[in-house]
Amino acid sequence: MTKNLKDAIKDRRTYYQLQNTSPVSDEEIQSIIEHVLLYAPSAFNSQSARMVLLLGDNHTKMWEITKEELKKVSKSEEAFKATEDKVNTSFASGYGTILFFEDKTVIKGLQGSLPSMAEKFAQWSQHSSGIVQILTWIGLESVGFGASLQHYNPLIDEAIKKEWSINEEWELIAQMPFGTPAGEPGEKTHVTLEERLMVVK
Protein backbone atom coordinates (compact mmCIF):
# COMPACT_ATOMS: atom_id res chain seq x y z
CA MET A 1 0.00 0.00 0.00
CA THR A 2 1.35 3.43 -0.96
CA LYS A 3 1.81 5.78 2.00
CA ASN A 4 1.09 9.48 2.12
CA LEU A 5 4.09 11.81 1.96
CA LYS A 6 4.34 12.64 5.68
CA ASP A 7 4.19 9.00 6.71
CA ALA A 8 6.72 7.99 4.07
CA ILE A 9 9.14 10.68 5.30
CA LYS A 10 8.61 9.67 8.93
CA ASP A 11 8.89 5.94 8.26
CA ARG A 12 11.96 6.23 6.05
CA ARG A 13 14.62 4.65 8.22
CA THR A 14 17.84 2.69 7.90
CA TYR A 15 17.04 -1.01 7.73
CA TYR A 16 19.96 -3.39 8.26
CA GLN A 17 17.87 -6.56 8.13
CA LEU A 18 16.54 -7.22 4.64
CA GLN A 19 14.86 -10.11 2.86
CA ASN A 20 15.23 -11.01 -0.80
CA THR A 21 11.57 -10.36 -1.54
CA SER A 22 9.63 -7.45 -3.00
CA PRO A 23 6.19 -6.01 -2.24
CA VAL A 24 5.93 -4.67 -5.82
CA SER A 25 6.94 -5.67 -9.35
CA ASP A 26 10.35 -4.89 -10.82
CA GLU A 27 8.54 -2.58 -13.23
CA GLU A 28 7.19 -0.56 -10.29
CA ILE A 29 10.68 -0.24 -8.81
CA GLN A 30 11.95 1.03 -12.15
CA SER A 31 9.01 3.42 -12.34
CA ILE A 32 9.90 4.96 -8.96
CA ILE A 33 13.47 5.55 -10.11
CA GLU A 34 12.39 7.01 -13.44
CA HIS A 35 9.97 9.34 -11.67
CA VAL A 36 12.74 10.60 -9.39
CA LEU A 37 15.14 11.16 -12.29
CA LEU A 38 12.50 13.08 -14.23
CA TYR A 39 11.35 15.37 -11.44
CA ALA A 40 14.16 15.79 -8.90
CA PRO A 41 15.49 19.37 -8.92
CA SER A 42 19.11 20.14 -9.77
CA ALA A 43 21.20 23.29 -9.99
CA PHE A 44 20.70 25.00 -13.36
CA ASN A 45 18.52 22.00 -14.26
CA SER A 46 21.78 20.14 -14.84
CA GLN A 47 20.16 16.71 -14.39
CA SER A 48 23.61 15.28 -13.63
CA ALA A 49 22.31 12.35 -11.55
CA ARG A 50 22.76 8.88 -13.00
CA MET A 51 21.45 5.65 -11.47
CA VAL A 52 21.96 1.93 -12.02
CA LEU A 53 19.34 -0.53 -10.74
CA LEU A 54 20.78 -3.96 -9.95
CA LEU A 55 18.37 -6.85 -9.48
CA GLY A 56 18.72 -10.62 -9.23
CA ASP A 57 22.21 -11.99 -9.84
CA ASN A 58 23.52 -8.48 -10.55
CA HIS A 59 22.52 -7.35 -7.05
CA THR A 60 24.32 -10.37 -5.61
CA LYS A 61 27.38 -9.70 -7.78
CA MET A 62 27.56 -6.12 -6.53
CA TRP A 63 28.05 -7.28 -2.96
CA GLU A 64 30.43 -10.09 -3.94
CA ILE A 65 32.59 -7.43 -5.60
CA THR A 66 32.37 -5.30 -2.46
CA LYS A 67 33.51 -8.19 -0.28
CA GLU A 68 36.39 -8.96 -2.64
CA GLU A 69 37.60 -5.37 -2.49
CA LEU A 70 37.17 -5.17 1.28
CA LYS A 71 39.16 -8.38 1.76
CA LYS A 72 42.11 -6.81 -0.06
CA VAL A 73 42.34 -4.01 2.52
CA SER A 74 41.30 -5.95 5.61
CA LYS A 75 43.85 -6.04 8.43
CA SER A 76 43.08 -9.63 9.44
CA GLU A 77 40.89 -12.63 8.64
CA GLU A 78 38.94 -11.97 11.81
CA ALA A 79 38.26 -8.35 10.87
CA PHE A 80 37.18 -9.38 7.38
CA LYS A 81 34.84 -12.05 8.76
CA ALA A 82 32.95 -9.42 10.76
CA THR A 83 32.71 -7.20 7.69
CA GLU A 84 31.63 -10.11 5.50
CA ASP A 85 28.88 -11.05 7.94
CA LYS A 86 27.55 -7.47 7.91
CA VAL A 87 27.54 -7.31 4.11
CA ASN A 88 25.83 -10.70 3.82
CA THR A 89 23.07 -10.03 6.35
CA SER A 90 22.47 -6.30 5.84
CA PHE A 91 23.02 -5.64 2.13
CA ALA A 92 23.44 -8.77 0.01
CA SER A 93 20.42 -10.35 1.71
CA GLY A 94 18.13 -7.74 0.13
CA TYR A 95 16.22 -7.71 -3.13
CA GLY A 96 18.20 -5.16 -5.11
CA THR A 97 20.71 -2.32 -5.05
CA ILE A 98 20.63 1.13 -6.57
CA LEU A 99 23.93 2.77 -7.48
CA PHE A 100 23.96 6.57 -7.49
CA PHE A 101 26.36 8.41 -9.77
CA GLU A 102 27.03 11.98 -10.88
CA ASP A 103 28.02 12.62 -14.50
CA LYS A 104 31.25 14.64 -14.42
CA THR A 105 30.82 15.58 -18.08
CA VAL A 106 27.74 17.62 -17.19
CA ILE A 107 29.53 19.32 -14.31
CA LYS A 108 32.59 20.15 -16.40
CA GLY A 109 30.33 21.59 -19.09
CA LEU A 110 28.68 23.94 -16.63
CA GLN A 111 32.02 24.95 -15.19
CA GLY A 112 33.21 25.84 -18.68
CA SER A 113 30.11 27.82 -19.64
CA LEU A 114 29.81 29.65 -16.30
CA PRO A 115 33.40 30.17 -15.10
CA SER A 116 32.44 32.75 -12.48
CA MET A 117 30.65 29.96 -10.56
CA ALA A 118 32.90 27.09 -11.61
CA GLU A 119 34.09 26.22 -8.12
CA LYS A 120 30.51 25.75 -6.90
CA PHE A 121 29.26 23.24 -9.44
CA ALA A 122 30.88 20.22 -7.80
CA GLN A 123 29.20 21.18 -4.51
CA TRP A 124 25.84 21.75 -6.19
CA SER A 125 26.20 18.37 -7.89
CA GLN A 126 26.45 16.74 -4.47
CA HIS A 127 23.30 18.59 -3.40
CA SER A 128 21.47 17.26 -6.45
CA SER A 129 22.66 13.73 -5.73
CA GLY A 130 21.47 14.00 -2.14
CA ILE A 131 18.02 15.05 -3.34
CA VAL A 132 17.85 12.09 -5.73
CA GLN A 133 18.96 9.71 -2.98
CA ILE A 134 16.38 10.83 -0.43
CA LEU A 135 13.54 10.94 -2.95
CA THR A 136 14.42 7.41 -4.06
CA TRP A 137 14.60 6.24 -0.45
CA ILE A 138 11.19 7.76 0.35
CA GLY A 139 9.77 6.28 -2.84
CA LEU A 140 10.97 2.80 -1.89
CA GLU A 141 9.65 3.25 1.65
CA SER A 142 6.26 4.33 0.34
CA VAL A 143 5.67 0.94 -1.31
CA GLY A 144 6.91 -1.19 1.57
CA PHE A 145 10.68 -1.54 1.13
CA GLY A 146 13.36 -1.08 3.75
CA ALA A 147 16.71 0.34 2.63
CA SER A 148 19.98 1.86 3.77
CA LEU A 149 22.54 4.16 2.19
CA GLN A 150 26.11 2.88 1.92
CA HIS A 151 29.40 4.41 0.82
CA TYR A 152 31.92 1.78 -0.23
CA ASN A 153 33.27 4.10 -2.90
CA PRO A 154 35.97 4.78 -3.99
CA LEU A 155 37.11 1.28 -2.97
CA ILE A 156 34.72 -0.46 -5.35
CA ASP A 157 34.57 2.13 -8.17
CA GLU A 158 36.93 0.50 -10.66
CA ALA A 159 35.51 -3.01 -10.27
CA ILE A 160 31.92 -1.77 -10.50
CA LYS A 161 32.57 0.20 -13.69
CA LYS A 162 34.36 -2.76 -15.26
CA GLU A 163 31.65 -5.28 -14.35
CA TRP A 164 28.78 -3.28 -15.85
CA SER A 165 30.67 -1.23 -18.48
CA ILE A 166 29.73 2.04 -16.78
CA ASN A 167 30.80 5.34 -18.31
CA GLU A 168 34.16 6.45 -16.93
CA GLU A 169 32.78 9.97 -16.46
CA TRP A 170 30.16 8.72 -14.01
CA GLU A 171 31.36 9.20 -10.44
CA LEU A 172 29.97 6.71 -7.91
CA ILE A 173 28.43 8.53 -4.96
CA ALA A 174 26.51 5.94 -2.92
CA GLN A 175 24.88 2.52 -2.89
CA MET A 176 21.35 1.75 -1.68
CA PRO A 177 20.54 -1.90 -0.92
CA PHE A 178 16.83 -2.52 -0.43
CA GLY A 179 14.40 -5.34 0.27
CA THR A 180 11.49 -6.35 2.43
CA PRO A 181 12.29 -5.45 6.06
CA ALA A 182 13.21 -8.48 8.16
CA GLY A 183 13.54 -6.54 11.40
CA GLU A 184 12.95 -3.16 12.96
CA PRO A 185 15.21 -0.12 12.54
CA GLY A 186 17.12 1.25 15.50
CA GLU A 187 15.64 3.89 17.76
CA LYS A 188 15.67 7.39 16.25
CA THR A 189 16.40 10.28 18.56
CA HIS A 190 15.64 13.90 17.78
CA VAL A 191 17.31 17.19 18.53
CA THR A 192 14.53 19.56 19.62
CA LEU A 193 12.90 21.60 16.88
CA GLU A 194 13.48 24.74 18.94
CA GLU A 195 17.22 24.25 18.38
CA ARG A 196 16.84 23.63 14.65
CA LEU A 197 14.08 25.87 13.39
CA MET A 198 13.68 29.63 13.39
CA VAL A 199 10.38 31.04 12.14
CA VAL A 200 10.33 34.71 11.14
CA LYS A 201 6.92 36.31 10.45
Which pLDDT value is given to residue 186? 87
Cα–Cα distance for residue pair 59/79, rounded to 1 Å: 24
Arithmetic mean of pLDDT, 62-91? 94
Task: Find, among 191, 142, 141, 163, the residue nearest to 65 by Cα.
Answer: 163
Per residue in 44-67, pLDDT (tens digit) is 999 999 999 999 999 999 999 999
Upstream peptide bond of 154 is cis (omega within 30 degrees of 0)? yes
Q: Where on the phi/psi map is residue 27: left (φ > 0), alpha (ψ -120 to 50), or beta?
A: alpha
**0.85 surpassed by pTM:** yes
Residue 74: CA atoms inside 13 Å, Cβ hemisphere, count? 16
Chain length of the chain: 201
Cα–Cα distance for residue pair 166/73, rounded to 1 Å: 24
Which pLDDT value is given to residue 5? 81
Per residue in 149-166, pLDDT (tens digit) is 999 999 999 999 999 999
Across the chain, mean pLDDT equals: 95
Which pLDDT value is given to residue 62? 98
154 burial (CB, 10 Å; 0-12 / 13-18 / 19+) is exposed
Strand partners, 150: 175
Give the count of beta carbons closer than 10 Å to the beta carbon of residue 1.
6
Which pLDDT value is given to residue 1? 53
Per residue in 97-146, pLDDT (tens digit) is 999 999 999 999 999 999 999 999 999 999 999 999 999 999 999 999 99
Which pLDDT value is given to residue 80? 93
